[in-house]
């Protein structure tokens, strides 16, 4: 009798193990793959050659922030620099776009992030352009000129924008000269937020849908679990959109990714790597999301 009970118990444990393992494997299979990316060196406008130290400081801070993003799978920059030196030694492509794309392809990057700094001044604030290159097509797929005017508020209403009499915001006659390094250090938090906006708009965080857990009276999905990268991926009350992505081949033979919003949901609880969401718009059927990798969530 005892041996039979032991066998039943072992069988029960085996079934539990298989169930858990299949669930784990399912999660791993459904986890979305991020695009690989690296950051190329930033350049700056020729008229700013006299501010090379300040330009390098700002470029370094921007590049460090880009390297820390969760929106893309970032590759090591040391590999990027090694390949750049080798290409230059071999007298490879010298023009910026071609060199950047060739470097990216050599280290397995799908996206190259780069940019150009235009200004660090008390008049214009910080101005720079961010660009994202698609390594496969060699095209710029996203670009934006970012401006931050934190400098105008560093010293309150007494800041004088420019030199000479009558050129201040308060009508004063003397100029306040602001150190460009101070401008960078006091503006960088706002600059980073604008970089995040650029990344979220062009490379939004994606979350695979694990399963539907509750349904309304019409049998549409009411609640679902999605997979988070870690416990900090989303917070309670964050909103996500449920999207369907399809690849469409254009007339020129290139593949275009088209996404369609199916609905929106709000995070109601974090359960380890699983995030429970309640759908608040869109009629979504279980068959649309079950085992369908082309339907997933992005943060709003």
Closest CA to 206 of 72, 36, 39, 27: 72
Q: What is the pTM of this model?
A: 0.69
pLDDT in tens, 188-201: 999 999 999 999 89
Q: State residue 173's pLDDT score.
A: 43
Binning pLDDT at 50, 70 and 90, where does residue 218 land? very high
> Which residues of 149-220 form beta strands (DSSP E)?
206-215
DSSP 3-state assignment of 1? Answer: coil
Q: Can you tell me the distance from the alpha carbon of 189 to that of 186, in angstroms, rounded to the nearest whole number? A: 7
Backbone angles phi, psi at 176, to 5 degrees: -100, 120
Query: DSSP characters for 76-134?
Result: PHHHHHHHHHHHHHTT---SHHHHHHHHHHHTT-SEEEEEEEEEEETTTEEEEEEEEEE
Spacing of C-alpha 248 from chain mean position = 24
**Residue 207: Cβ within 10 Å count:** 23
Closest CA to 177 of 190, 168, 188: 168
pLDDT in tens, 2-12: 565 555 555 55
DSSP 3-state assignment of 39? Answer: strand
Domains and CATH numbers, the chain: 36-202 (3.40.50), 205-299 (2.40.10.410)
User: Is beta strand 125-134 parallel, antiparallel or unpaired with respect to 36-39?
Assistant: unpaired
pLDDT in tens, 61-78: 999 999 999 899 998 766
Query: DSSP characters for 206-267?
Result: EEEEEEEEEE-TTS-EEEEEEE-SSTTS--TT-EEEEEEEEEEE-TTS-EEEEEEEEEEEEE
Binning pLDDT at 50, 70 and 90, where does residue 17 land? very low
Tokens of 182: 């101070």
Contact 294, 244 (CB under 8 A): yes
Q: Which helix (H) or strand (E) holds 29?
A: helix 2-30
Query: Which residues, including other chains, have CB under 8 Å from residue 164's CB and lie 6 or more apart?
Result: 173, 175
Section 24-51 average pLDDT: 72
pLDDT at 48 over 60: yes
In the numeric block, the tokens 């416990």 are attached to: 231
Q: How many CA atoms lie within 13 A of 278 on its CB side?
A: 6
Binning pLDDT at 50, 70 and 90, where does residue 205 land? confident
């Amino acid at each position: 009798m005892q041996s039979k009970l032991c066998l039943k118990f072992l069988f029960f444990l085996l079934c539990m193990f298989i169930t858990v393992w299949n669930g784990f494997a399912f999660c791993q299979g459904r986890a979305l793959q991020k695009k690989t990316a690296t950051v190329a060196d930033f350049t700056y406008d020729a008229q700013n050659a006299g501010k090379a130290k300040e330009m390098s400081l700002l470029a370094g801070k921007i590049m460090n922030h880009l390297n820390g993003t969760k929106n893309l799978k970032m590759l090591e920059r040391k590999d990027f620099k090694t390949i750049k030196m080798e290409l230059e030694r071999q007298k490879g492509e010298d023009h910026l776009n071609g060199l950047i794309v060739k470097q990216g392809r050599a280290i397995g990057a799908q996206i190259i992030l780069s940019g150009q700094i235009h200004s660090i001044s008390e008049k214009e604030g910080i101005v720079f352009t961010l660009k994202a290159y698609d390594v496969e097509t060699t095209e710029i797929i996203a670009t934006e000129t970012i401006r931050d005017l934190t400098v105008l508020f560093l010293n309150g209403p007494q800041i004088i924008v420019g030199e000479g009499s009558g050129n201040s915001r308060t009508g004063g006659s003397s100029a306040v000269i602001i150190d460009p390094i101070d401008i960078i250090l006091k503006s960088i938090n706002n600059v980073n937020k604008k970089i995040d906006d650029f990344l979220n708009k062009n490379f939004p965080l994606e979350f695979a849908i694990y399963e539907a857990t509750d349904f309304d009276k019409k049998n549409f999905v009411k609640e679902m679990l999605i997979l988070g990268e870690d416990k900090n991926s989303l917070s309670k009350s964050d909103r996500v959109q449920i999207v369907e992505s399809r690849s469409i081949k254009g007339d020129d033979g290139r593949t275009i990714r088209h996404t369609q919003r199916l609905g929106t949901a709000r995070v109601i609880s974090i359960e380890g790597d699983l995030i429970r969401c309640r759908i608040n718009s869109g009629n979504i059927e279980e068959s649309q999301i079950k085992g369908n990798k082309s339907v997933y969530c992005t943060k709003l």
